[in-house]
Structure 1
């Protein structure tokens, strides 16, 4: 397998750092949803036998959404240079 070039390694690191920021943000947001019992999600998930699956799907969706948002915002922010 070929080694990554320095600029490729930097680009992947850049994306992974921003993905991490998005995942942390989504975990906080999901935690706040459960803590506040917004729309009865926590009560419903704890009352049902398969509620853990619903929570896993909720957090997976949040991770994908917030991670993508953070990476996209970072990429679009790269274009802000002095013209």
Structure 2
């Protein structure tokens, strides 16, 4: 892998991880504060674990993609050697 490619992958990975961290914080906050009785509904359902996994995965995909997009769009110059 070329140095530029490695730097690009690390750049995107850094932004992806920041988006995933934001998704985990939001998902946990939604469940801890029981917004719109979401946590109550999930834990009284027989498919509560599936719903929790779907909530977190959906938020991670969305927030990770947005963070990567923001990272790419804020590049303002060509940093290749």
TM-score normalised by length of structure 1 = 0.89
Output one character per residue of 1:31-78: Cα deviation in whole Å (capped at 9) or x when no partner. 110011111110011101110000100100000000001000010000
Q: Structure 1 regions of 5+ residues with no counterpart?
A: none
Aligned mates of 2:45, 2:77 — CA distance in 1:
49
Aligned mates of 2:54, 2:44 — CA distance in 1:
17
Aligned mates of 2:19, 2:69 — CA distance in 1:
10
Within the candidate set 57, 62, 66, 2:63 is matched to: 66
SS in 2 for 1:78: coil
Aligned mates of 1:31, 1:77 — CA distance in 2:
29
Q: How many residues are aligned here?
A: 78
Q: Structure 2 regions of 5+ residues with no counterpart?
A: none
Q: RMSD of the alignment, in Å?
A: 1.3
Distance 1:6 1:80, change over 3 A: closer
